[in-house]
A and B are shown apart, each in its own frame.
Chain A
Amino acid sequence: MSIAIVALFLVAACVLGIRAARGQDKVDLAAWSVGGRSLGLLMTLVLMAGETYTTFSYLGAAGWSYTHGVSALYVVAYLSIGMAASYVVGPLLWSYAHRHGLHNITDIAAHRFGAPWLGVVLTVAATVFLLPYVQLQITGMGTVVASVSYGAVGLGLSYLVAFAVSEVFVLASGLRGSAWVSVLKDVTVVVTLAVVFVFVPLHFFGGYGAMFAQIGAERAAWLTMPGPGSSTYGLAWFLSTALLNGAVYSVIPTTVAGFLGAASPQTLRRNALLLPLYQVLLFVPVILGLAATLVVPGLKDSNLALFEMLGTALPEWLFGLVGAAGALSAIVPMAVFMLAIGTMWSRSVLGLHERTRGRQRQLAQVVTLVAGGLALGMTYVFPNALVRLSVISYEGLAQLLPLVVIALVWRRMSLSGGVAGLVAGLLVVVVLMATGNDPWGGVNAGAIGLVLNLLVAAAVSLARPGSAPDGRLAAPEPVPARSGTEEDHR
């Protein structure tokens, strides 16, 4: 019963995605990779909400608070900070990309410095840091489907289904299709979380007051940072991670795909205003993770906290709906991650040659398929290799910030400065990570890397300044101060 509901939603996702391809340009890369740069406010909101609410939100956030307590809310903190920053950064990237017909961060940076090889380097780096996220979604989907089917459907089959469904709609209709599947996903997620948030306190504790009171009495250590029995996730870690991830949010290639898909910069500003409200939803899995410490204590795999707790108590059909929401939370972000990887390889590596330039869309789609296949294969063969790498994904992507964003507003930033900063930042992250020093002195290693990155980039650029022509910088947005002659930006 419950697994049939999940299957039904997955079929619906495929149908929605394929239908979204109707009437779409079949040749143009931009129609596929950035939705023809035409998504309105609602679609942009739904898509970007869909991207941020991954299986991590379902499994990881509950699992985190189950193990480490309320420091799990760092997710809410960084998303709120990142979305506020996107009020400025989103329109900046949008305008630059729109003016020059660019598709993601790698071709933006390559264009800014007039250096195609930089695009190649950044594409390789971004792929290394993004693939683990694709795999995390695949394994997340496996966990959801296996628990919702009460073990009847195995992990291996669930992995394959996650891969197949997300490839079907992303290959058919690209970013626009992902936005349509996000509609289904967001509705399912909001409804099921609301129901579960009422159900769990009433069923297990007799009410909210009673639930929090019992958590306060028996799990007090979970309610502040650094949390129970560890000093790893203390205040310093929370602050540095919230700031770092907040700064990175706007250069994550999936976020950028969402930015560039918007119809106008004003859409992005409205989005920055409305999207933070969606983060309130993230409190649900975090609080339920705390509740799970009392309901299902002593789990080996904390990622199962939410589903183990719900599986024992929910009626089958409702458990199926929760599972469907979890499964959709895996495949939508996964599809956009793969699309971003495909777009970057096509634009910045494979489609550079004049003989391949006319085939960028097909190339992007082939890479999208290959990237997904690679992540799927890794899931079967080396299930832990990519997951280990995912720990430094955000910290690594953070190091792209100066080359992608700061370069657009700082005329004198030089290519050598930006690259030196990138190398320094990545080295710090990799070394601290490899020596088991992340966090270092309680501070997120990526934040330390980014500070060094910025210092090196600034020092080298000041010593030997570059000079970008106006066309390679973000233009200040036109402000028609008095109504009349100024051209409209749209």
Chain B
Amino acid sequence: MRDPEPRPSRRSLWWLLGPPVLFCVAVVPANRVEPWVLGMPFLVFWLLLATLLSPVCVWLAARGDPVWKAHRR
């Protein structure tokens, strides 16, 4: 548009696909009771891990995002 300069790339936003991959792709092989991890059946453990990794994915997206960096105080 009226931006004369090339816009900095926001390629790191691909990390936002992390949660759908964790929950919707990886869950297929994770749909099992064995092995038990930390006292939890495997599927419950996996979904808990995915829940904890989701913010990490968003953080990775933000970390490389020029828009995020520009507004960071």
Q: Which A residues contact B (CB, under 8 angstroms)?
A: 70, 73, 76-77, 80-81, 83-85, 87-88, 91, 208-209, 212, 215-216, 220, 223-225, 235, 238-239, 242-243, 246, 264-266, 269, 272-274, 276-277, 279-280, 283, 287, 470, 475-481, 489
Contact = CB atoms under 8 A, between A and B. Distances in A.
Nearest to A271: B58
B19 A84 contact: yes
B62 A212 contact: no
B62 A84 contact: no
Contact of A280 (B3, B32, B51): B51
A264 B43 contact: no
Nearest to A280: B51
B51 A264 contact: no
Contact of B27 (A215, A238, A269, A283): A238
Nearest to B28: A235
A239 B22 CA distance: 11
B23 A273 contact: no
B7 A80 contact: no
26 contacts: A80-B19, A80-B22, A80-B50, A81-B19, A81-B24, A83-B54, A84-B16, A84-B61, A87-B16, A87-B61, A208-B39, A209-B39, A212-B39, A216-B33, A238-B27, A242-B23, A269-B68, A273-B58, A273-B59, A276-B54, A276-B55, A277-B55, A279-B51, A283-B48, A476-B3, A481-B5
A44 to B, nearest CB: 15
B15 to A, nearest CB: 9
A269 B52 CA distance: 18
A315 B8 CA distance: 59
Q: How large is the interface on B (under 10, 10 to 19, 20 to 34, 35 or more residues)?
A: 35 or more
Interface of B is mostly: helix
B40 A212 contact: yes
A264 B71 contact: yes
A292 B43 CA distance: 19
Interface string B45-73: 00110111011011101100011101110
Contacts of A478: 70
B31 A84 contact: no
Contacts of A266: 68, 71-72
A238 B27 CA distance: 9
Contacts of B1: 470, 475-476
Contacts of A91: 67
B47 A77 contact: yes
B7 A87 contact: no
Given A70-B44, A84-B19, 17 more contacts: A73-B44, A73-B47, A76-B51, A80-B54, A83-B19, A84-B16, A84-B54, A87-B62, A88-B13, A212-B39, A212-B40, A224-B33, A238-B24, A269-B67, A280-B52, A478-B70, A479-B70
Nearest to B22: A80
A274 B55 contact: yes
Contacts of B41: 212, 215-216, 223-224
Contacts of B20: 81, 84, 242-243, 246
A69 B34 CA distance: 16
B24 A83 contact: no
Contacts of A283: 44, 47-48, 51
B51 A80 contact: yes
Query: B7, B8, B55: which has the most chain A beta carbons within 10 Å?
Result: B55
Contact of A239 (B8, B16, B24): B24
Contacts of A235: 27-28, 31
Contacts of A269: 62, 67-68, 71
B23 A80 contact: yes
Contacts of B24: 77, 81, 238-239, 242-243
Nearest to B72: A266
Contacts of B7: 476, 479
B47 to A, nearest CB: 5
B40 to A, nearest CB: 6
A215 B36 CA distance: 12
B59 to A, nearest CB: 6
Nearest to B2: A470
A215 B40 CA distance: 10
A276 B23 contact: no
Nearest to B61: A87
A479 B67 contact: yes
A246 to B, nearest CB: 7
A454 B7 CA distance: 28
Given A83-B54, A224-B32, A280-B48, A273 B62 contact: yes
